[in-house]
A and B are shown apart, each in its own frame.
Chain A
Amino acid sequence: MIPATLNSYLFVSVVLFAIGLVGVLVRRNTLIVFMCLELMLVASTLALVAFSRYNGTMDGNVFVFFILTVAAAEVAVGLAIIVALFRKRQTIQLDQLNALKD
């Protein structure tokens, strides 16, 4: 078995980030877009962990803990907003949420 190098981790991270970005760009469902955003965030934390491991320091790991904590809080807030949005507008499709245009 080939030992995992830094590049393999970063490759996975970039792929995850790209999947998330494409999801954000093309999906219309707010919930999915939100999940894709989280995917991008996690992709970047993966890169941080990989760098930390490669450098032999704990800095990246510490960052990741903080990011995860904040992300959990943010997800709670974000989901709450989406629920409130659905209650108000009976839809969470992005192309119908264009009230700002007018």
Chain B
Amino acid sequence: MTPVQLAISVLVLPLASAAVIALFLRRSGGLASLVSVLAATGIAGGALLLAFGGKDARFTAASEWLRFGDFAISIGFKFDDLAALMLSIVGVVGLCVHVFSLGYMHGDASRGRYFGGLSIFMFSMLGIVFADNLFMLFIFWELVGFSSWLLINHYMDKQSAADASKKAFIVNRVGDFGFLLGILWCQAQFGTTNLDALAKLVEGGAVAATAIPLLLFCGAVGKSAQLPLHVWLPDAMEGPTPVSALIHAATMVAAGIYMLCRINVLMVPDALSVIMWVGTFTAVYAALCAITQSDIKKVLAYSTLSQLGYMVAAFGLGSVSSTHMHGDTPHTVLLEAGVGAAMFHLTTHAFFKALMFLGSGSVIHACHHEQDIFKMGGLAKKLPITFFTFTIGVLAIIGMPLLAGFFSKDAILFLSYVVDKRVFVLLAFTAILTAFYMVRMWKIVFLGLPRSENAHHAHEGGLALTAPLVVLALLSVVGGYEWFYEKVLRGAFEGVLELVPHAHDTDHTVILATSLAVLLIGALSAFAVYRPSPTDTLAEKAPGLFGALVALKGAFDRSYDYYVAKMQQRFAMLLNFLEQILLAGVIIRGLAGIVGLFGLGARALHVGNANAYTYWFLFGVAALWAAAAGVLIF
């Protein structure tokens, strides 16, 4: 099998699985889950085969799909190291989540729909990974939006789940509108959206209009939930927990970062600084919000937002390092450190965040779907495997040395230290907050005594629940080491990972010291402040601060509510009024009235008397003669 055929079968496999489930297995959840998990296994296997197929397995292939005159849309594969890395993440994390779902969703009446949704999601996500042009990317982009909607809405008889899925879909539309405009603008300026062709054009000296990368970035703002479109992600936690792990932590929300790395050739300095600041503010804002959350999944959701902000900031920090005058024309030096740092953090984050989400799934499963951390407690002894792996996840995200998050976070901190000190300070502050809220949650959930009946009777789930945790915990440890990628994975992704910036000498010392300092400050203060108690310690000790953070979290939702209810709704009512009066009243009723009048007149002529018709005939002859003779001019 050639790499191209393998790639096509990897792409089509989940689609086939989704089709089989949707058509035949909606009622039989057991078979559906089997089909879906087998498909996921096939994807993971095929993905690893492709990724580790050596240099021969890197290819581009395309075939034309639609043609309108000069404009053609092609379906194609661009499989380079970047795609290989993303493909491996999607494949491995996807498989873990599928297996976990076997245990977690066991006993759910609509398992068929759930696993069908997972398969269609895998198909859409792989399409994004493989896409070689922006139109194809956009098609699959919308498909992941659809499958995300489907899966958030899994518990559809719950009003909050239905609302959350709608919110996610609509907020993503806002971002995608900009994304589509950017694609069209790109097509208009360059005449192509093929990534390789764009790279060649840019190498040849073409510079994208600043609006193009910014509009394309709008898509990432929606999908990767950056400020100000982040509001959908915390609500999306209404979906089943494995879905949150796969879609709303590890893969789909990271698609925005991946897309940015795909189009990095189009970046210009102005756009990059916008991207950098959006990412930085998202990171700080979401970390502040996470402190007050009491729902275990919401803490993780805000943490995801914050880490996505980190990746976006990393991308914005690096990709164009400087602009200097070369003769008379400004010459931009491409430094792809940002791509390296962002993708590196994406990789490690995918592992440890999926681990923590699945861990929280295991906790929620054990506590009979209790999600309030203040009603848990003492789970360390009840759920030893979950506790151990979850702890690894927590340590990885807060940047404990020797774990994956430490390396990727340091790369980003180093980049910000070199490029912009203000961003460095904000990101370091975010790292303190990250350590703070993570240790807070960890302590409240696992330490102390059980604070509810459910927590008291918690016990570890089956192998399907624990095995994915162990695999992901392992990856969360080794995922940060260079030797792991070089020796174990034989340098399969070096095209991306060689771009990761490394600090040297004094910089190295500064970064290491900062990173250790923020870790200790955040973790120790959280450990000191919080007691495993049924109420939030911070809310008791510093209600002002707590209230301010809650208000900060609600600010966006409130302003959007205000906008929708007070402005958009009123505007819509005004439009509706005008529509009723002008369109329905004047134009439609009016036209109908005029036609009716003509009908009345015509009916009056129709007397049924042959003599009268003869007169009309005579009149017609006279008129015809008059016209022919030129007496009447028409």
Stretch at the interface among B32-40, B218-226, B281-289, B608-616: B608-616
* Cβ–Cβ contact B606 & A95, under 8 A: no
Q: 0/1 per residue, B592-634, Cβ < 8 Å to A?
A: 0000000000000011111100110010000000000000000
| B607 closest partner in A (C-beta) | A101
Question: Contact at B608–A99, with CB atoms within 8 Å?
Answer: yes
B614 touches A25 (CB 8 A): yes
Interface size, chain B (Cβ < 8 Å):
9
* Nearest chain A residue, comparing its CB with the CB of B606: A101
Among B607, B611, B615: residue with most chain A CB under 10 A: B611
A28 with B608: CB separation less than 8 A: no
Say yes or no: is A97 at the interface (Cβ < 8 Å to chain B). Answer: yes
- The distance in angstroms between the C-alpha atoms of A28 and B611, with both chains bound, is 8
Q: Is the CB of A25 within 8 A of B615?
A: yes
The answer to whether B609 touches A98 (Cβ under 8 A) is yes
Q: List the A side residues contacting B618 at CB < 8 Å.
A: 21, 25
Task: Provide the residues of chain A in CB contact with B615, threshold 8 Å.
Answer: 25
Provide the A89-102 mask, 1 if CB < 8 A to any CB of B, else 0: 00000110111111
**Residues of chain B with a CB closer than 8 A to A25's CB:** 611, 614-615, 618
Say yes or no: B610 contacts A97, CB within 8 Å: yes
Count of residues in A whose CB is under 8 Å from the partner chain:
14
Q: How far is the CA of A34 from the CA of B610 in the complex (A)?
A: 12
Q: Which of B541-562 contact A (CB under 8 A)?
A: none
Inter-subunit contact A98/B607 (CB<8 Å) = yes
Closest to B615 in A: A25
CB distance from B313 to the nearest CB of A (A): 83
Q: How far is the CA of A99 from the CA of B396 in the complex (A)?
A: 95
How many contacts between A and B, using CB within 8 angstroms? Answer: 25
Which residues of A in the span 69-86 have a Cβ within 8 Å of any Cβ on B? Answer: none
**Interchain nearest-CB distance for B149 vs A (Å):** 60
A21 vs B610: C-alpha distance when bound (angstroms) = 14
Tell me, in angstroms, the Cα distance from A94 to B611 when the chains sit together: 7
* A24 interface contact, C-beta 8 A: yes
A95 contacts B614, CB within 8 Å?
Answer: no
A21 to B615, CA, bound (A): 10
Contact A102 B608 (CB under 8 A): yes
Chain A residue nearest to B613 (CB atoms) is: A100
Query: CB within 8 Å of A: which of B570-610?
Result: 606-610
Given the complex of chains A and B, what is the CA–CA distance between A24 and B618 in angstroms? 11
Instruction: Return the chain A residue nearest B611 by Cβ.
Output: A94
A-chain residues with CB within 8 Å of residue B610 when the two chains form the complex: 33, 94, 97
Cα distance A63–B607 in the bound complex, in angstroms: 37
Q: Bound complex: CA of A98 vs CA of B607, how far in Å?
A: 8
Q: Which residues of B contact A28 (CB under 8 A)?
A: 611
Question: In the complex, what residues of B have CB within 8 A of residue A98's CB?
Answer: 607-609
**Minimum CB distance partner of A26 in chain B:** B611
Q: Which residue of the partner chain A has the closest CB to B603?
A: A101
Q: Which residues of A contact B607 (CB under 8 A)?
A: 98, 101
**Alpha-carbon gap, A28 to B612, bound state (A):** 11
Given known pairs A24-B614, A25-B614, A25-B615, the reply for A94 and B608 (CB within 8 Å) is: no
What's the nearest-Cβ distance from chain A to residue B608, in Å? 2
Report the separation of the CA atoms of residues A26 and B614 in the bound assembly, to the nearest whole angstrom.
Answer: 10
Is B614 within 8 A of A100, CB to CB?
no
How near does chain B come to A44, taking the closest CB pair, in angstroms? 14
Cβ–Cβ < 8 Å partners of B609 in chain A: 94-95, 98, 101
Which A18-65 residues have a C-beta within 8 angstroms of B? 21, 24-26, 28, 33
Query: Which B residues are in CB contact (< 8 Å) with A101?
Result: 606-609
CA A54 – CA B99 in complex, angstroms? 109
Q: A26 contacts which chain B residues (CB < 8 A)?
A: 611
Inside 8 A of A102's CB, which chain B residues have their CB? 608
Residue on B with the closest CB to A28? B611
Interchain CA distance A21-B607 in the complex, whole Å: 21
Which residue of chain B is the closest to A100 with respect to CB atoms?
B608
Q: Least Cβ distance of B469 to chain A in Å?
A: 86
A21 to B618, CA, bound (A): 10
- Chain A residues with Cβ below 8 Å from B611 are 25-26, 28, 94-95
Q: How far is the CA of A97 from the CA of B614 in the complex (A)?
A: 14
**Could you mark each residue 20-58 of chain B with 1 if its beta carbon is under 8 Å from any beta carbon of chain A, else 0?**
000000000000000000000000000000000000000
CA A99 – CA B606 in complex, angstroms?
A: 11
B: residues with CB less than 8 A from A are: 606-611, 614-615, 618
Q: List 15 A-B contacts (CB under 8 A).
A: A21-B618, A24-B614, A25-B614, A26-B611, A33-B610, A94-B611, A95-B609, A95-B611, A97-B610, A98-B607, A98-B608, A98-B609, A100-B608, A101-B608, A102-B608
Extra pairs beyond A25-B611, A28-B611, A100-B608 (14, CB < 8 Å): A21-B618, A25-B614, A25-B618, A26-B611, A33-B610, A94-B611, A95-B609, A95-B611, A98-B607, A98-B608, A98-B609, A101-B606, A101-B607, A102-B608
